[in-house]
Structure 1
Amino acid sequence: MQKPNTEQGFSLIELMIAMAISGVVLTGVYASYQDQLRTSLTQERIVDMNQNLRSAMVSIERDLRMAGANPTGDADAGIATATASVLEFSMDDDGSDVNWADGDTTDEGEVIRFDLDSGNLRRRFNAAGDTDPTLVPANTDHLSRNIDALNFVYLDGADPPNVLASPVTGSALEDISSVQVTIVARDGSTLAPMARTHTDNNIYTNQQGDVLLDLSGAPDRFRRRMVTTTIKCRNLGL
């Protein structure tokens, strides 16, 4: 007598159904992974952009609050260049703990210049024995990259303050009491293929309505952020 065959396998139809279900599940898992990856890359770029802006503003604010510092009354300290895109000023304070106020502005780091160079926000400073912050290329700190606009607006000490016509020159430099700084940054030098898509067609203006960056006619896919702060120059306009 032959024993009945109790071993049973999967039929072709069952295998096809199982493969179809597995394919649907794997497709969902992959789509979810891609979505999370896009979100992560986008957030990482935004965080970098915000950190660049924050570090740049902190440096500008720290230095600008010391503009015109002249404890001995003998130093020719103050704002020397005040245009919409370039700010240069001096102080009698080289940052050292010894003889920090010596009656001149020729110690290293006592003349500061902020400007924009090919998307890099630069902090330039003088060498010892000189008052020109542009002479020594090595005396340059790149505070922030991927900057599309840097704007300075100069205000006097009135209440409310008046906007001084830019560029501020001659005796009008002595009227500057505070500086409004606006920076427009973007989230990278190139687009990230895996980041979430975005279209920027905004017009960026300062608080006076001056256009700093107009993308309405030529939108791109970068993300941008604009920050503005008004810095009181405690040693100016006294």
Structure 2
Amino acid sequence: MGRIGVELRLSKNEDTMRPIKGHETHGFTLIELLVALAISLLVMGAIFLTFKSQQDSYVIQDQVTRMQQNLRGAMYMMTRDIQMAGYYTNFDTGLRTCDWDDLDSDNDTTTNTEQGRALIFAVDNTSVSGIKSGTDEIVIVKAVHERDLATGSLTDEGTLVAGESASGNTITLNDLDLDGDGDPDLNATGKRFGVLVKNDLSRADFFEVQSLSGSTLTTRQALAENYTAGDLIFRADVIIYRVTDNATRPALVRKNLGRNSGYVTVAENIDNLQIQYRLKDGTWVNDPAGSQAQVRAVRVAILARTARLNRGYTDPNTYALGNVNYTPGDGYRRRVLFSEIKTRNIGL
């Protein structure tokens, strides 16, 4: 038989005759993993710190913005009231005895009384419960816009008409509703202050209602003048500004003794209030007692602080607030606002 031959040819590349090895897979060592993890943590930490820094900056700026808004709002309210101090009450030259400053907060005008003109009162550097120690208080007295009783038209004054009069301790009116809104404007409780003015503005009497019978009022102090038809009558406001002694959130509050209202918050986080008074001879005083009719301007300094402490921050400033230098040295950020307000109705 014929032989079938098989010829094996060797490749020139001898490696083809060697066993084929599997492809090698390379991984990370434990050290490499730890290094990568550490780098990742550093990057994440940097991102977090950047975010936290931006967030803290945003919170601080938001608090500062709110603080500045509080300052502007508080100064606006005080300016509006101070400018009206002495409105028509300026024509009363007598001394009136009353608990003007309400330092005891009892809403009783017959206790702890002071004597003075019904214009403007001050308490310098208070030190009583309920008021932040070392801050000032101001009391503003003014007439309120009412209507003309004869015509019913809205004017700056109410006018006594036929049958209405006032003398001694008695005021006789036809109607206690001076502004036509349906509610009595004078009574013996909340709306107990008023002022009578001669129609030629020669004289006035600030009065407090002690009792009421129908439309007849009995005043606590006797009137110095007699008033008849044609003379003017107003309800009066006695407005108090002070700073509360709440350590975590002190506030500037306002109370109107002429409306029997409690203390209402004007602005929160008010740290200090200092007030000075310029007399007509140009001198500045901290309390115009005995010289109230000489006041021509009021300088108000309001110091506000942020609502929350700023971690890692200490306020390094000393604030010169009139006659007081205030150094808080804590972690609140602060702003101060000054204003000199002319008393347009005192000294006319």
Alignment TM class, shorter chain as reference: 0.7 to 0.9
* CA-CA distance at 1:231 after TM superposition: 0.5
* Counterpart Cα distance in 2 of 1:144 and 1:34: 30
Asked if structure 2 preserves the Cα contact closer than 8 Å seen for 1:115 and 1:122, the reply is yes
* Counterpart Cα distance in 2 of 1:116 and 1:108: 27
* CA-CA distance at 1:91 after TM superposition: 1.6
* CA-CA distance at 1:61 after TM superposition: 0.5
Q: Does 1:177 align with 2:283?
A: no
Q: CA RMSD in A?
A: 3.2
Q: Hey, what does 2:252 align to over in structure 1?
A: 121
Q: Hey, what does 1:197 align to over in structure 2?
A: 312
Q: Hey, what does 1:18 align to over in structure 2?
A: 36
User: Residue type matched to 2:337 in 1?
Assistant: V
Q: Hey, what does 1:163 align to over in structure 2?
A: 284
Q: Hey, what does 2:263 align to over in structure 1?
A: 140
CA displacement, residues 195-231 of structure 1 (integer Å, 9 cap, x when unaligned): 4421124332234xx224234xxx3222222221100
Q: Does 1:214 align with 2:327?
A: yes
* Counterpart Cα distance in 2 of 1:44 and 1:95: 42
* Counterpart Cα distance in 2 of 1:40 and 1:108: 48
Which of 131, 134, 143 lines up with 1:92 in the alignment? Answer: 143
Give the total of aligned pairs. Answer: 216
Question: Where does structure 2 lack aligned partners over 5 or more consecutive residues?
Answer: 1-18, 95-116, 125-135, 148-152, 160-193, 196-207, 209-233
Structure showing the higher helix proportion among its residues: 1
Change (3 A) 1:149 1:58: same
Change (3 A) 1:214 1:95: farther
Q: Does 1:66 align with 2:181?
A: no
Change (3 A) 1:24 1:140: same
User: Residue type matched to 1:110 in 2?
Assistant: D
Q: Percent identity?
A: 26
Larger Cα Rg: Structure 1 or Structure 2? 2
* Counterpart Cα distance in 1 of 2:321 and 2:88: 31
CA displacement, residues 165-209 of structure 1 (integer Å, 9 cap, x when unaligned): x32223x10000110001122212x53xxx4421124332234xx
Asked if structure 2 preserves the Cα contact closer than 8 Å seen for 1:72 and 1:101, the reply is no
Q: Hey, what does 2:7 align to over in structure 1?
A: none
Greater Cα offset, 63-72 or 117-126: 63-72
Q: Hey, what does 1:53 align to over in structure 2?
A: 71
Asked if structure 1 preserves the Cα contact closer than 8 Å seen for 2:241 and 2:255, the reply is yes
Change (3 A) 1:9 1:94: farther
Asked if structure 2 preserves the Cα contact closer than 8 Å seen for 1:149 and 1:212, the reply is no
Which of 29, 32, 56 lines up with 2:47 in the alignment? Answer: 29
* Counterpart Cα distance in 2 of 1:58 and 1:140: 18
Greater Cα offset, 56-65 or 19-28: 19-28
CA displacement, residues 19-68 of structure 1 (integer Å, 9 cap, x when unaligned): 23322211110111121122122222222221221111010001111111
Asked if structure 1 preserves the Cα contact closer than 8 Å seen for 2:301 and 2:336, the reply is yes
* CA-CA distance at 1:75 after TM superposition: 10
* Counterpart Cα distance in 1 of 2:72 and 2:146: 22
* Counterpart Cα distance in 1 of 2:59 and 2:146: 39
* Structure 2 SS opposite 1:52: helix
Q: Hey, what does 1:131 align to over in structure 2?
A: none
* Structure 1 SS opposite 2:69: helix
* Structure 2 SS opposite 1:91: strand
Change (3 A) 1:95 1:148: farther
TM-score (norm 2): 0.54
